[in-house]
Structure 1
Amino acid sequence: MTGLFHGGRPGTPAPPERPLPAAEQGAFMKRTTLGITTALLSAAALAATGTLGANAAEQNTAGQAGTISTALGLSGGEQLVPRDVVRDADGTHHLRFDRTLNGLKVIGGDLVVTQKAGQLTGVTKATEATLAGLDTSAPATARSGATLVVFALDHAPVLAWETVEHSVKQDQTPSELHTFTDAKTGETLLSYDDIHVAEGTGQSTFSGAVALNTTQSGSTFQLKDPARGNQAVNNLNNGSGTGTLFTDADNKWGNGTYTDKATAGVDAAYGAAKTWDYYKNIHGRSGIKNNGVGALSKVHYGNNYSNAFWSDSCFCMTYGDGAQNRNPLTSIDVAAHEMSHGVTSATAGLVYSGESGGLNEATSDIFGSTTEFHAGNTADAGDYLIGEKINIRGDGKPLRYMDKPSKDGRSLDYWSATAGNVDVHYSSGIANHFFYLLSEGSGQKTINGVAYDSPTVDNQPVTGIGRAKAEKIWYRALTTKFTSSTKYAAARTGTLAAAADLYGASSPEYAAVNRAWAAVNVK
């Protein structure tokens, strides 16, 4: 689960979800050229997105993945499993694969292959380590409830046990703790919580009177959006689980305050709609998984729960009501932040730990901010502040600042060798700062009534290229360059490659990406 704050996933019978940070709440890139036919790669692309029929997809995917495996020199026991595909207007395909070895999932084995004009022109791998010769025989003693995997994430490949522990933290945040343990030595290789949390018309709490798409069923209306993959909003009524779908007799929802439980439902439906529209209109992405399916939103979770979270396992977004159950965390940027964790999971799969975890969180902050700008709502105007409406700390201040992240007292403005040891909600500041500088540049300025003053590590100025170009570069890097193990140095490489793809390697945009990274000490 992923969210605005620190957090973990719930350990209730309900599926786990992603939370906000607890403290807040109370590539290596390798390119090569290989001769693989357009027809085969196109078959894999179609299979990966479900365009082919089930049987045809299975046959074409198996054949294509096998061809790529051979071309990449993978060992006989390695198989590639299609996960995502991005098609460019010029016919280029970016095919993302997970990897298995003798049937075991390889953690850190994902890769992206790029094909154009019948040639495989680029490969980005999460690891360059070879898996050939690794003994995948199951240990004599099995671990109860554990899954045997190959662990190759920033580590020499070894056989490992993956355990997933579902629980609920003291603050009511769900937890889904993933732990990888060396099957031979018992050493803990990695442990991270995969619940991503957010800190924390109808008549909405934050966005005023808003229009909603709903579904009529007999004489009642359902808070379900038929224009956006039937994404719906359920009422948990200060409990947990799945809840019940909001319905209404006259299709007029909420009263703008916490006294009507439908008000938070309005915010959730509106935030989900604006997130869908942002990805569709700006990036051509149809829903979180790019498959036209809407996600479920659930409001009124827990009791005085000051957080929100996304869960891949239930493909759903959950919001608490905050202090005294009167301050729901349902603002536009929180909704987009959390749902963007789902986009990251469906694409780069950035592991929620270390520098890759910081990039995961930053991606959600970046797209939370850009969605807010795209929404164009005067009651909640776009800005480079995260969670400025939800007052999570009770002091009226935003949760995070993109122009100068350290203003929150915890986040990093610049990269250093210890960045990977910092909580992901604070190491995200490096990429947030980069994105702000790339969009708007350094120094003092006022945007939509908000004053910013962004510094640089070398005290040299940065000239921005505009948010419209910066968001395109970040999204392309996320979907075609980043892998599960991407760190800040590889993020720089990936965004430069994305800028070259979009604007040319000799373009001002490419130079601006390079300069913005240097300004946050990533060189």
Structure 2
Amino acid sequence: MYYNYSRRITAAALLFLLNSLASFAQQKNVDRSIMTFYDGLQTIRVLEYVEPAPGTNKIYRLETLAENGFPAIVLTSNVQMGYIKFEDKLPYDNVFNDNASPFTSAEGAQTLYSFQSIMKAFDSRFGWKGMDGTGTATVYAIMGDAQKYPLSASASYTTNGISDNFLFIKEVNGVKNFNNGIETVAHEFLHAIMRYKRGFENYNPDKCAEMHSIEEGLADIFGIYIHNKVKQTPPQNFDWKFQGYNATLANPKGFLFPDTYNGEYYKNDCHLTFAPHPNGGVLYKWSYLLSEGFPGSAYNDLGYGYSNLTGIGIEKCIEILWQTISKIKKYTTYPALRTYTLETAGQLYGLNSTEYLAVQNAWCAVGVCDNNLPAFSMSPANATNFIDPWPTVDINLTWKNNNLVQEWEVQMSPKYDFSDSVQTVKLTNFTAVIGPNQTLMSTATAKGYFHPGKKVYARAKISQAGANFCKGLNPLCILYQKFGPTHAFGLKDKKTNFWPATKSTSVKAWKGQVTWQWVDDAERYRLQVASDSMFTALVYDGIAPYTGNFMETGEIGTDLTIGQTYYARVRAERLDLLKLKDNHGAWSDPLVITASMPSTAISQAKTQKLNDPPFEVGTLGRQVNWDPVPGASNFVVQVATDDTFNSIIWTKTVSGNLASTTMLFPPLANLTDLFVRVLPKNGPIFGVCSNVWRIKVDEAKALALMKGPPNGTTFPFKDFGVNVIEWKSGTLNMNTVDYFELVLTKKPSGVTATFPTQGKKFDFLIQDPLLLNDNGLQASVIAVNALGAKTAQSLPFDYNICPDHPAVFFPGDLGKVDPTKDFKVEWFPSQSFAVGSQYLLTIKDGGVAIPGFKDKPTTNHFMTVPAGTLVNGKSYTVTVRNSSSCAALLVPSTFFTAVGSGGSNQPQAPKLVDFTIEIQGFRNDLDGLAWETSDYVLGIELIDPDGNVLALIDPNGASVTQLLVDSENSGVVAKGNDRPEGKYKLRLKMVNIFNPLAYYPFDQPRFSVLLNGQPVISNHVITVDFVNPASPFHEWQVGFQFGDINLDIK
């Protein structure tokens, strides 16, 4: 016999039943004497109505309209031919089969009679009309053919939360009869009553939930109770027999139902074919013992002894159950039902009343009790659940202290009778504790090993004790060599629950992750992913680590197909032990996962709103950051000039473990708009970028910063010497820089020379006096990336150029002169000596100019100091200023001494020396898109200190007069032998430029001069001024005479 509480009636059947309520002409309820299938001839209320016009005959149907507070009953048969009503038409014979239903009139009449009888009984006994207590809800009943309803002969109540339906099934020509007798219909009707009394929201869809067994037990008890009421059986003759089982509920074991909670026949395992009815036997036995009592002594299956139970009668028992129905919730268990019934008994009859104690004793008799003894207790208590199995199942013994107890023996088993897999633990180490009322107690703990979710049975006995242990009144004696009552308790199933997504979620297709709530004392988790909900087609089966965090995470260690639906489940596990293998918790409920397109997002674009202007970046490039994507083998960074990425100007593939890189831009027009995206990649499969970073290149956004010499520094004309121009990175991202270009511009002519650095150097050595032949010089720097893109020039430093002061060469520094004789102060002429300029000579004694020699003017390169002007034995300083120079230039001073003897008033004769002069020329070769600068010829002359032109020869003795520059490495070496020391002048001239006259401005022609291997001029850029060819700085022209290059030959 099968009772289905959860199946919903079909939409077609519901529509038909609703249509059955349509009004007929002159309809009413009337009495008819009809033969029923089980209960013989009975007077039954039926529907009378007049056939549709033009007919005038009455028709009688097995159903009723609502009347006297009772609901309407709609009855129909549903067979292969469709829905057929049970009707009696003219000529009337009280046989309701005129519509040719394959079911008999008696079968239909039995169903109607059963409903009418039980509703009257519920109303009479409990004042409860119909299913809902008010008679409002219509009763819909279908008698179906098993060929249309693929079920064995059954009766069931179904509901969808809106309508209530009763279904009775049999084979049309089968040997089994309908289960539509009074007790069966009352059983199903109680299911409907419970639905209304406790609310539909308290229905538990888990078919293995204990609440279903309780409901089935209640329905069976009320079924036979209502049957007895209908038959008007007096309470003293109450018949406990249930026709459906052909057995008495007083002895559930007679039909293999349990009579002890967790005892023999009690079903603890949940499976696909689990039926909740048998476990209702516990409630049968409890109801019987509570009603009838028990005069003798007995032990239940757990070894709990009971005797002389007081019965309170069937009416009080039923009243307690009726009042308790509304308290039953979806997770109610037998221990919870015990609590509810005790609460009800207390409310009805008072706490500690005979009835209250009878309820309590009856529950203990069927195993719903803690099973502890007055002087001894064991935990977990009997009939408890959700005991933690990990790391071990702990059985705690507590007893009143007795020094004669030497050893306890604890047994644990998965079977109520300890017939299988018994674990035996001997305990000899005890701990003393203070119990209630300051009583000295002893405790000990036994550890067992069981799988989660299982039922454990435990019992204990004193296996060894001292002499005379059982003499006198020792309450522990009953446990000596004899096990006490068994404690049966359920273990937590250690089920894992996905969280925060519990039903469905999406995961990344590569190394996707799912999360779940932590399971305490687990050692690892097993995660499975399958392409089907039954997990027969696994695509991943792997281990996830246990962290102990509230939320645990597991990575799916395989790539999923984008867009495909999968199913995931997870369970907690402990490692295998010798005592316990496969120690794992219950699988989680399946989580439906959809493999989504892996995506990343550019960090900088996350705050960029739709209408925001593009983010301004430098022209060289910019760092871009993105979110990591587990499982990505690479990321492809793309930069395009359009947001559809049809015009990609730069792309780079980086490793999948990176989350940033430096973008490099090719040369672009200033203020070009660009679009950036990053695509995750795994093998040939690409993910997506959830945002696009809009940027605009601005050549002034990222610039270097000049450092030195300080802005505003003044240099002597054509006397730059050796100086280093320095700069800093400023706002540049140095990862975008390949090298720098130092830009030097003469002022006011505007002629520019550009010097590239070798790599990312922040300085450049300048050794070119010819640069300082104008009124000023401006220095700035440009950064260049590996693709040739350039920044704007940095903010410049401006340098002043002033006419140079002459250098005194006699007397020499620390020299000695004879003041008693005339001598000449001699100096080298300034390189910039404008018309009208003068040399101003000053001789100082102790910082004070001597008379007649304070800024004494001359245009010569010497000045005579008469004898007697200086005092013998004193020291002096002499300076010569160029009157056209500026105050910012330091005037060099020479320190000398006036001595009477030993002084020399004439310069020493110069020594003769050998020297070499090397001239190197450069013009760029054809390279890529660049064009070549024309070949050119430099004329070469060397002027000695006396103004004579000297002939130059190379090391082979050949005359040196010109240098042909036809490559990037042109050069000539000239030498001089036995030449006097002094200031020589090297004079270079642009003798020829070969056609076509080409000048490449981005790699300008240049030359260098070395004296004895040391640079005098390094990379002098041959400047050009096509706008003003007459400019003295337009050096790229035939006949141009370069400024004299001073060579200090020593």
When normalised by structure 2's length, the TM-score is 0.28
Distance 1:203 1:427, change over 3 A: same
Partner residue of 1:206 out of 38, 57, 69 = 38
What corresponds to 1:441 in structure 2? Answer: 293
What corresponds to 2:179 in structure 1? Answer: 329
Structure 1 counterpart of 2:225, one-letter code: T
What corresponds to 2:126 in structure 1? Answer: 283
Q: Is the 8 A contact 1:214 1:223 kept in 2?
A: yes
The 5-angstrom pairing of residues 53-452 of structure 1 reads 201-218=33-50, 219-225=58-64, 226-227=66-67, 228-237=70-79, 243-249=83-89, 250=92, 252-253=94-95, 261-293=104-136, 294-303=138-147, 305-313=152-160, 314-321=163-170, 324=174, 327-348=177-198, 349=202, 351=204, 352-376=207-231, 383-388=239-244, 398=246, 401-409=248-256, 411-416=257-262, 420-421=268-269, 423-442=275-294
SS of 1:521's equivalent in the other structure is coil
* C-alpha displacement of 1:353: 3.1
Bigger share in helix: 1
SS of 2:38's equivalent in the other structure is coil
* C-alpha displacement of 1:511: 1.3
What corresponds to 2:742 in structure 1? Answer: none
SS of 1:489's equivalent in the other structure is helix
* C-alpha displacement of 1:310: 0.9
SS of 1:212's equivalent in the other structure is strand
Q: Is the 8 A contact 2:213 2:278 kept in 1?
A: yes
Q: Distance in 2 between matches of 1:265 and 1:497?
A: 42
Bigger share in strand: 2
* C-alpha displacement of 1:238: 5.9
Q: Distance in 1 between matches of 2:74 and 2:269?
A: 38
Distance 1:346 1:15, change over 3 A: farther
* C-alpha displacement of 1:259: 8.0
The answer to whether the aligner puts 1:488 opposite 2:334 as a matched pair is yes
* C-alpha displacement of 1:11: 8.2
* C-alpha displacement of 1:8: 7.0
The structure with the largest alpha-carbon Rg is: 2
* C-alpha displacement of 1:14: 4.7
When normalised by structure 1's length, the TM-score is 0.54
Q: Is the 8 A contact 2:286 2:366 kept in 1?
A: yes
What percent identity do the matched residue pairs reach? 21
Q: Distance in 1 between matches of 2:238 and 2:184?
A: 13
* C-alpha displacement of 1:372: 0.5
* C-alpha displacement of 1:318: 1.2
Q: Distance in 2 between matches of 1:262 and 1:213?
A: 14
Distance 1:483 1:332, change over 3 A: same
Q: Distance in 2 between matches of 1:202 and 1:229?
A: 21
Q: Is the 8 A contact 1:499 1:510 kept in 2?
A: yes
SS of 1:236's equivalent in the other structure is strand
Distance 1:368 1:238, change over 3 A: farther
Q: Distance in 1 between matches of 2:84 and 2:196?
A: 27
Q: Distance in 2 between matches of 1:252 and 1:237?
A: 22
What corresponds to 1:519 in structure 2? Answer: 365
Structure 2 counterpart of 1:295, one-letter code: V
What corresponds to 1:9 in structure 2? Answer: 7
**Deviations 1:97-136 (Å, cap 9, x if unpaired)?**
xxxxxxxxxxxxxxxxxxxxxxxxxxxxxxxxxxxxxxxx
* C-alpha displacement of 1:406: 1.7
Higher relative contact order (CA 8 A, sep 6+): 1
* C-alpha displacement of 1:438: 1.3
* C-alpha displacement of 1:498: 0.9
Q: Is the 8 A contact 1:503 1:509 kept in 2?
A: yes
SS of 2:45's equivalent in the other structure is coil
Q: Distance in 2 between matches of 1:12 and 1:328?
A: 21
Q: Distance in 1 between matches of 2:337 and 2:81?
A: 40
Distance 1:439 1:222, change over 3 A: same
Q: Is the 8 A contact 1:358 1:426 kept in 2?
A: yes
Q: Distance in 2 between matches of 1:272 and 1:503?
A: 32
SS of 2:277's equivalent in the other structure is helix
Q: Which runs of 5+ in 2 are unaligned?
A: 15-32, 51-57, 370-1050
Structure 1 counterpart of 2:106, one-letter code: T
Q: Distance in 2 between matches of 1:265 and 1:454?
A: 46
Q: Distance in 1 between matches of 2:128 and 2:9?
A: 32
Q: Distance in 2 between matches of 1:274 and 1:208?
A: 14
Distance 1:326 1:477, change over 3 A: closer
Q: Distance in 2 between matches of 1:8 and 1:325?
A: 27
Distance 1:202 1:412, change over 3 A: same
* C-alpha displacement of 1:326: 5.2
* C-alpha displacement of 1:12: 5.4
* C-alpha displacement of 1:302: 2.2
SS of 1:324's equivalent in the other structure is coil
SS of 1:270's equivalent in the other structure is helix
Distance 1:251 1:10, change over 3 A: farther
Q: Give the aligned CA root-mean-square deviation in angstroms.
A: 3.3
What corresponds to 1:189 in structure 2? Answer: none
Q: Distance in 1 between matches of 2:298 and 2:240?
A: 11
**Deviations 1:181-236 (Å, cap 9, x if unpaired)?**
xxxxxxxxxxxxxxxxxxxx421111111111112112112222343311132122
SS of 1:214's equivalent in the other structure is strand
What corresponds to 2:661 in structure 1? Answer: none
* C-alpha displacement of 1:328: 1.6
Q: Distance in 1 between matches of 2:357 and 2:2?
A: 31
Q: Is the 8 A contact 1:272 1:335 kept in 2?
A: yes
Q: Distance in 2 between matches of 1:470 and 1:365?
A: 14
**Deviations 1:127-167 (Å, cap 9, x if unpaired)?**
xxxxxxxxxxxxxxxxxxxxxxxxxxxxxxxxxxxxxxxxx
Distance 1:11 1:282, change over 3 A: closer
What corresponds to 2:625 in structure 1? Answer: none
**Deviations 1:317-364 (Å, cap 9, x if unpaired)?**
111235715512111111111121112222234535321111111111
Distance 1:372 1:11, change over 3 A: closer
* C-alpha displacement of 1:374: 0.8
Q: Which runs of 5+ in 1 are unaligned?
A: 17-200, 389-396, 445-452
SS of 1:298's equivalent in the other structure is strand
SS of 2:330's equivalent in the other structure is coil
Q: Distance in 1 between matches of 2:80 and 2:189?
A: 21
* C-alpha displacement of 1:246: 2.2
Q: Is the 8 A contact 1:234 1:299 kept in 2?
A: yes
Q: Is the 8 A contact 1:271 1:335 kept in 2?
A: yes
